[in-house]
């Protein structure tokens, strides 16, 4: 099944149900992903998402819910309506405290619509019983939680999951998370994070799918499908929440919560598509972001929240603010007090206020004074009620307290977590070791292994896993299960942020006695994620000293990097023969790494972010503009003497190119790509624009294909990627833009022909009027292993 088919399906639905030119224009943006992939041998199928029909009872878009919503709404007082728009954290803290403890009384009075961070089913039922028995209208509470990469069964971080380039794995992982969380009474997750992240300094890069909108859209769709299942009202489904809308990932300097300046064109072309994909997949909710966008805080931005989200995309679910984002309008400088902050956020389109309590404190008075209308309140309440009804909470408000433990850590869930980890690892380097052969996979005759580094036991819990963290097998234990307990030796070498001379010396002595060293370095989990921006991306603490000391022993070294972002370790890439980016791989990380090191698994992960050589290159991303003075092949460190080579868009003290490009990933085998060929060299803009109106029913206008050969001695899977460049357009376009990908298994010596079918949307752009249309252009098409290689086929779009 072609990967891009999902976007054609949803775009067809959108075209049939929209009439305005503007909304058709937005639907065409989705259709720009409409590329089918056909492989001439059996391939890993990627099932297209099923778009919820407006007639189904389990969808927030279902119009049959409207009668029930209106019936409830007619009986509500203004106080009860405002209550549905109020959310508090009543459990484990994930931010500054709310200062409130009177939740029981507030629920009984109908003053709370949602609680989050409550994870005990008994506590959830206690609160829910108050709502269902004491509150006048018996409207259930919606319980939420940050379920990011698993609930109890911990999967790789989202950046790692995205590195699989396999939406089906992401969907399955999200399904497991939904089943476990819902058994505990959690029916709403604040996930997926679909922010485009171009700057590795930003800690929340770890929570997303990287720098590309096409891949990000695919992952957004997969998360929504997994969380919400085939029926949102099924007891094991949870409501998804696409966050952080919008532009949060473009924080200036990579500093979390910082301001962003993004043109409308760039918003629509790069930052909005994953959110649009989530909406089209049926996400029940979106979360407004912390950041200001072009001077207007995202949680008080009517253009993004009302014009685009509601009017253009037709979203009918609820919008919740991020933690205290309504209150933060005051330090942003657009509100002088809490009442003004509440009014601005509400009028802009934020339905539910997370934690700040400003809606509870001020919204009734805002409406009574005429600063906001009763109809606006009713519409916001409709959004909340529609989600609760679609989830089936009115019929089934309580959780079975005996079912929670039975839903956790199923063997098949743990096996899936291990598979996801195996598929997420990116082989960055695999040079020759002893005997002139590539160091990995490790030889079966190895007698002793030294596991050295502060992250060698459990990258998720470097200090030891807490009780209830689930069945975990560390990397040393997994290795010992293969070569014998007496053949694996463990030396911390240093702490993550500190270390002693004695620790390093003990590790060096241990390395001398081993046949091979597995060096486990990187970041602790707390060093990436929210409020974890870094100005320096090298190894923290004394880990670089440890690395160099171990390499000086002359022993073969495999470096495993654990992190939530790329790390700048150029010395390691020069001196260490084998390097694996393992990200933070979750509960199955130990066995997954052992299987990979010994060759039971052939790495197939690919980078979803450009890997920098130095932090000064950030923000760094492949789909950049060419500039008027592109460096071309000039990529030297020192100032050139040739004046024509000096005045280019380049550094004088660092290369322009990344250490590894977007889409890069090695394998234990090798692949050779043939030339990209296309079926036609000339297309007409008028015909393409006519075809845009046909949506999925439009004819294929070009096919592109290339042969990929496994030139090695092992079977492997290759993520084949298709990129396009448009030149001569009214708005400058990226040097390359991903438009399709496919994971293809290829046997040793086998050649596979990979074929892409392109529809008109592949050649359309957002023009200067922010309309999605095709223009006259020169076209380059690559089928390649990453964003930096491959031979281009040339074509032309005529006026």
Token couple for 583? 């990200």
Token couple for 19? 């009439």
Strand 296-297, strand 241-245: pairing: unpaired
Backbone phi, then psi, for 275, in 5-degree steps?
-70, -40
List helix spans (H) across 486-588.
501-512, 543-551, 570-575
Sheet holding 318-321, edge to edge: 241-245, 285-288, 318-321
3-state secondary structure 348-370: HCCCEEECCCHHHHHHHHHHHCC
Kindly give the interhelix angle for 5-17 and 273-280, rounded to the nearest 10 degrees: 70
User: For residue 676, what are the contacts with CB-CB under 8 A and spacing of at least 6?
Assistant: 704, 705, 706, 781, 782, 783, 784, 790, 791, 792, 793
Q: How far apart are the C-alpha atoms of 460 and 400, rounded to whole Å?
A: 30
Q: How far apart are the C-alpha atoms of 602 and 710, rounded to whole Å?
A: 13
Angle ∠(788,792,795) on CA atoms, nearest 5? 140
Across 90-193, the runs of DSSP E, i.e. the strands, are 114-116, 142-145, 188-189
Say whether 617 sits in a helix, a strand or coil.
helix
Q: What is the C-alpha end-to-end distance of the chain, expressed in Å?
A: 33
**Alpha-carbon distance values, 554 to 65, 490, 492 (Å):** 69, 18, 19
Neighbouring CB atoms inside 10 A of 333's CB total 10
Token couple for 149? 């990469």
Q: How far apart are the C-alpha atoms of 498 and 495, rounded to whole Å?
A: 5
* DSSP 8-class letter at 522: E
Say whether 745 sits in a helix, a strand or coil.
strand
Q: Which of 166, 212, 322, 457 is catalytic?
A: 322
Token couple for 317? 């679910």
- Number of helices (H) and strands (E), helices first, in the chain? 24, 28
Strand 751-758, strand 677-678: pairing: unpaired
Backbone phi, then psi, for 509, in 5-degree steps?
-60, -40
Backbone phi, then psi, for 331, in 5-degree steps?
-65, -25
Q: What is the Cβ-side half-sphere exposure of residue 642, based on CA atoms within 13 angstroms?
A: 5
Say whether 224 sits in a helix, a strand or coil.
helix
Residues linked to residue 579 through DSSP beta bridges, in sequence order: 429, 559
Q: Are 740 and 783 in contact (CB under 8 A)?
A: no
User: For residue 770, what are the contacts with CB-CB under 8 A and spacing of at least 6?
Assistant: 264, 265, 268
Strand 516-522, strand 557-562: pairing: parallel
Q: Are 654 and 233 in contact (CB under 8 A)?
A: no
H or E element, residue 270:
none
Q: What is the Cβ-side half-sphere exposure of residue 125, based on CA atoms within 13 angstroms?
A: 13
Q: How far apart are the C-alpha atoms of 517 and 510, rounded to whole Å?
A: 9
Q: Which of 170, 130, 92 is nearest to 420 (CA)?
A: 170
Across 481-556, the runs of DSSP E, i.e. the strands, are 488-491, 516-522
Active site residue 515: no
Active-site residues, by number, are 322
């Amino acid at each position: 099944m072609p990967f891009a088919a999902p976007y054609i399906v949803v775009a067809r639905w959108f075209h049939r149900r929209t009439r305005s030119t503007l909304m058709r224009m937005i639907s065409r943006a989705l259709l720009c992903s409409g590329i089918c992939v056909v492989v001439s041998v059996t391939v890993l199928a990627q099932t297209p998402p099923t778009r919820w029909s407006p007639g189904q009872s389990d969808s927030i878009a279902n119009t049959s819910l409207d009668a029930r919503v209106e019936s409830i709404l007619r009986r509500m007082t203004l106080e009860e309506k405002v209550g549905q728009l109020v959310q508090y954290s009543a459990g484990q803290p994930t931010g500054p405290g709310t200062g409130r403890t009177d939740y029981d009384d507030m629920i009984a009075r109908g003053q709370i619509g949602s609680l989050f961070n409550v994870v005990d089913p008994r506590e959830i039922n206690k609160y829910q019983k108050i709502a269902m028995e004491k509150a006048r209208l018996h409207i259930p509470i919606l319980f939420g939680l940050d379920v990011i990469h698993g609930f109890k069964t911990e999967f790789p971080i989202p950046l790692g999951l995205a590195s699989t380039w396999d939406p089906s794995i992401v969907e399955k992982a999200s399904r497991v998370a939904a089943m476990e969380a819902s058994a505990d009474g959690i029916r709403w997750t604040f996930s997926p994070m679909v922010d485009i992240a171009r700057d590795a300094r930003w800690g929340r890069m770890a929570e997303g799918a990287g720098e590309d909108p096409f891949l990000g859209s695919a992952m957004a769709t997969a998360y929504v499908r997994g969380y919400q299942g085939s029926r949102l009202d099924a007891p094991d489904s949870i409501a998804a929440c696409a966050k952080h809308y919008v532009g949060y990932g473009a924080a200036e300097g990579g500093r979390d919560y910082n301001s962003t300046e993004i043109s409308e064109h760039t918003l629509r072309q790069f930052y909005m598509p994953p959110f649009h994909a989530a909406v089209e997949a049926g996400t029940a909710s979106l979360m407004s972001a912390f950041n200001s966008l072009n001077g207007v805080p995202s949680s008080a931005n009517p253009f993004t929240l009302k014009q685009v989200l509601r009017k253009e995309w037709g979203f009918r679910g609820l919008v919740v603010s991020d933690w205290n984002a309504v209150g933060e309008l005051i330090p942003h400088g657009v509100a002088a007090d809490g009442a003004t902050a509440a009014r601005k956020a509400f009028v802009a389109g934020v339905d539910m206020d997370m934690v700040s309590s400003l809606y509870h404190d001020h919204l009734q008075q805002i409406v009574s004074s005429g600063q906001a209308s009763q109809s606006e309140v009713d519409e916001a309440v409709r959004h909340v009620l529609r989600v609760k009804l679609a989830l089936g909470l009115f019929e089934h408000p309580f959780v079975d307290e005996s079912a929670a433990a039975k839903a956790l850590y199923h063997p098949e869930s743990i096996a899936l977590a291990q598979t996801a980890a195996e598929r997420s690892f990116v082989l960055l380097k695999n040079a020759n070791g002893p005997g002139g052969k590539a160091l990995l996979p490790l030889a079966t005759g190895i007698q002793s292994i030294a596991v050295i580094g502060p992250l060698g036991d459990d990258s998720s819990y470097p200090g030891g896993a807490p009780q209830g963290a689930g069945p975990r097998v560390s990397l040393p234990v997994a290795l010992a299960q293969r070569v014998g307990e007496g053949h694996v030796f463990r030396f911390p070498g240093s702490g993550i942020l500190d270390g002693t001379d004695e620790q390093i010396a003990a590790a060096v002595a241990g390395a001398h006695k081993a046949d091979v060293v597995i060096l486990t370095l990187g970041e602790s989990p707390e060093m990436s994620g929210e409020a974890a921006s870094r100005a320096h991306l090298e190894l923290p603490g004394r880990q670089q000293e440890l690395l160099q000391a171990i390499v000086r022993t002359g022993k073969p070294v495999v470096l495993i990097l654990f992190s939530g972002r790329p790390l700048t370790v150029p010395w390691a890439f020069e001196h260490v023969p084998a390097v694996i980016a393992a990200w933070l791989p979750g509960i199955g990380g130990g066995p997954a790494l052992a299987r990979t090191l010994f060759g039971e698994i052939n790495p197939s992960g690919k980078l979803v972010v450009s890997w920098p050589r130095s932090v000064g290159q950030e923000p760094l991303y492949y789909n950049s503009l060419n500039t008027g003075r592109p460096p071309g092949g000039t990529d030297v460190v020192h100032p050139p003497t040739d004046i024509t080579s000096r005045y280019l868009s380049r550094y004088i003290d660092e290369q322009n190119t990344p250490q590894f490009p977007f889409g890069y990933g090695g394998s234990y085998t090798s692949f050779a790509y043939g030339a990209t060929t296309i079926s036609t060299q000339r297309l007409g803009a008028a015909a393409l624009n006519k075809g845009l109106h046909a949506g999925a029913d439009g004819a294929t206008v070009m096919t592109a294909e290339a042969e990929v050969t496994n030139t090695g001695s092992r079977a492997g899977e290759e993520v084949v990627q298709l990129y396009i460049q448009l030149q001569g357009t009214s708005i400058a376009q990226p040097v390359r833009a991903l438009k399709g990908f496919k994971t293809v298994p290829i046997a040793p010596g086998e050649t596979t022909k990979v074929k892409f079918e392109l529809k008109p949307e592949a050649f359309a752009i957002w023009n200067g009027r922010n309309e999605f249309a095709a223009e006259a252009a020169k076209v380059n098409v690559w089928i390649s292993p990453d964003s930096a290689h491959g031979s281009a086929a040339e074509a032309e779009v005529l006026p």
